[in-house]
Structure 1
């Protein structure tokens, strides 16, 4: 049977260290209590625990919002519980997509693989969501932060990734529906005497091909060289070229982007083709933040 669901992989970070420090019996007791808490939060938020995986769990939900709320609840519960001298953290991956279910209730398919990869990619304390899950979140004002796309083995297109934020500082837990959408920044671009501006929700292509939004000529520039995407109030430069894109910021840092992505911040110059060229032929960028 095939269905479309929200998926969640959650891992307890550092369980191997617990067994080394506390011994098998005490560590097993802590890990089991943590996983029981994870399972309880999945079920409390209308989900089903598909299975436990060593020091983690795999759950599914009918609604993307329930999967996101459950992951936040797990994080909050884990941070509030007493674990003796230990500090336990989790990492999680969330995705939404079509899955196949066998007669035992287990789920499998591409969506399951993507969810597991997001969890593996997450740092301790991070809750990483795919764009497929984010698009299903209701209401839309969740505390999200765009992250670089993730290349999953066997997939041609990278997975667009967001971090579901758990805190604004060490004290404040953000929960859905409690954050206001801030004013959105604008990306300003200039090449010689040409100027363009990108607002929230816009996307923009650069290259030699006539169907690019901004046609830029040069021997080292690819036909479809790069794309700028607006994601949740942030701008992401994605390079598809043969020779790369050299980024020089106003702080003096330089980054050669080649088949990867970069979160655009501040201001600086883009050298399409990966090499410095005269200033008049480079692309100037400025991420203009809204006034408070």
Structure 2
């Protein structure tokens, strides 16, 4: 029976969460099929257990990803935090630490007779999970508004994204669940981070200077990006640069990949991966440095 023949019914608002095992392809390559399959199975079991403890219903498992429906944004957030902590306590597999990335959104939930859920809330939650990096929990401003004050304190504003069918950009937040010397759990940024060495990103006439207190810089063709790159090979939302644990991390979020050339090193290609920017170098989007006019230069400021 196809979806069109199953009557859909609208429920009260809820939260949909997607949690995905990070770098699973690399895990299979390095650890082998049996070890990787077992490790991912252990991660999935933990994610499901954490969900059940917060009144979550596992809607489906898709490969190494779970989709869960929660009665509230608070339940989804608490489950996401529990998942991250539980996964970090797992032992490495073939030298690779196990990690997950999570996205969730709060809004109207549509379901069918089979128990599957769909609609805008589901679609946006899935997109947020794809935007999340290893160890990250990303959610929307709408979801944050439904959190209690104690949980809103651990949220940090990221950047807006444009979503098809919506006039206004969707504003994104991440949960700060790991404390380190460069970042506090509360909204105040540590003085050590503020004093960190600055980084400058330059594209044509645009120059963005970052320090440890700066919000993430977004890069892409979309007009809402911090740096708008006029190149058809560049995705609408292609990459971000953010300060984390004392480093400026370039994170690829694109379809075509990001090329990075750091002076003195070979050019590298990022595909849904990240690298620390150091010294002086160049960034191109979807194609190699050779013969490419559209590029971003980075250097210490």
TM category, shorter: 0.5 to 0.7
Q: 5 Å matches for 1:1-292?
A: 1-3=9-11, 4-84=13-93, 85-140=95-150, 141-169=152-180, 259-262=223-226
**How many angstroms apart in 2 are the aligned matches of 1:250 and 1:129?**
24
Q: Is the 8 A contact 1:117 1:152 kept in 2?
A: no
TM-score w.r.t. length of structure 1: 0.60
TM-score w.r.t. length of structure 2: 0.58
**How many angstroms apart in 1 are the aligned matches of 2:103 and 2:121?**
11
**How many angstroms apart in 2 are the aligned matches of 1:45 and 1:170?**
30
**How many angstroms apart in 1 are the aligned matches of 2:118 and 2:180?**
37
Q: Over aligned residue pairs, what C-alpha RMSD do you find?
A: 3.1
**How many angstroms apart in 2 are the aligned matches of 1:31 and 1:248?**
40
Please state how far the C-alpha of 1:261 moved relative to its aligned partner.
4.9
**How many angstroms apart in 1 are the aligned matches of 2:149 and 2:25?**
38
**How many angstroms apart in 1 are the aligned matches of 2:53 and 2:184?**
19
Q: Is the 8 A contact 2:101 2:133 kept in 1?
A: yes
Give the unaligned 5+ runs of structure 1: 184-244, 264-292
Q: Is the 8 A contact 1:131 1:159 kept in 2?
A: yes
In our comparison, the structure showing a higher alpha carbon Rg is 1
Quick one: structure 1 residues 170 and 68, their matched pair in 2 at CA, closer, same or farther if it must change by over 3 Å? Answer: farther
Q: Is the 8 A contact 2:99 2:134 kept in 1?
A: yes
How many residues were matched structurally? 194
Moved over 4 A (4+): 170-174, 245-251, 255-258
- SS of the aligned residue for 1:71 comes to helix
Please state how far the C-alpha of 1:86 moved relative to its aligned partner.
2.5
Q: Is the 8 A contact 2:102 2:132 kept in 1?
A: yes
Please state how far the C-alpha of 1:153 moved relative to its aligned partner.
3.3
Quick one: structure 1 residues 247 and 24, their matched pair in 2 at CA, closer, same or farther if it must change by over 3 Å? Answer: closer
